[in-house]
Copies of this chain bind each other. A is one copy, B any other.
Amino acid sequence: MAAFPAGIPVVIVNYKTYAEATGKRAVPFTEALLRAAAGKRVTLAVAPQAADLLRVSQATRVPVLAQHVDSLAPGNGTGATLVEAAQDAGAVGSLLNHAERRLTLAELDAACARLAAAGLARVVCTDNARTTGAAAALRPDLLAIEPPELIGGSVSVTTADPEVVRHSVRAAKAVHPQARVLCGAGVKTGEDLRRALELGAEGVLLASAVMKAKDPGAALGELLSGLP
């Protein structure tokens, strides 16, 4: 079954390296998010650190993504995270090329190919409409456009720069008609999610709005209030 069924809005929470969702805290954190999403028509996925994948996938039923996987084949790669290791730890896919872990185009392509061969989902982050178009040529499951200057900020990309979302969707579909695009950066409220969907995105990728919230479950609940 596809990790991200067509037609259902997608919300991915990137745990980054926030202490609140690291190690032993990752499971209760995830459970709070799951309660907030219960019964909603949304595909919620979370992206913990590599060392936390197994813990979260064993203890919860949320689709778990790696934050990054390396493109290399098994063998020599000390410090890398192999696609196979992420998969055995329960990941159904991986973010790739996040602003905090950019990949070369060659690595990005190779990582996409290895994930695809393993039957895992690829969510490729990009920074503008041109790179979204470029990444669409690699045919990932999802693209996620996040203008770097808005990441972690208080104004949602959907308000600060709605055109970048529209143009990214258009650029991606021009290269690959089945492309599906998320947006991110500053996304926080139900209204932000509602506008993202209006602009042609199929959902959002977010971190700080949930990760830095006093009550992460409530923060996610607020966001999900924008679901149609």
Contact = CB atoms under 8 A, between A and B. Distances in A.
A23 B109 contact: no
Contacts of A161: none
A156 interface: no
B100 A102 contact: no
A87 B23 contact: yes
A30 interface: no
B105 A79 contact: no
Interface in A57-107: 66-68, 70, 72, 74-82, 84-89, 95, 97-107
A22 B74 contact: yes
A146 B47 CA distance: 35
Interface string A133-145: 1111110000000
A192 to B, nearest CB: 20
A10 to B, nearest CB: 18
A interface secondary structure, majority: mixed
B104 A79 contact: no
A127 B106 CA distance: 7
A86 B16 contact: no
Contacts of A53: 51
Interface string A18-29: 110011100000
Interface of A: 14, 16-19, 22-24, 47, 49-55, 66-68, 70, 72, 74-82, 84-89, 95, 97-109, 113, 126-128, 130-131, 133-138, 148, 152, 171, 175
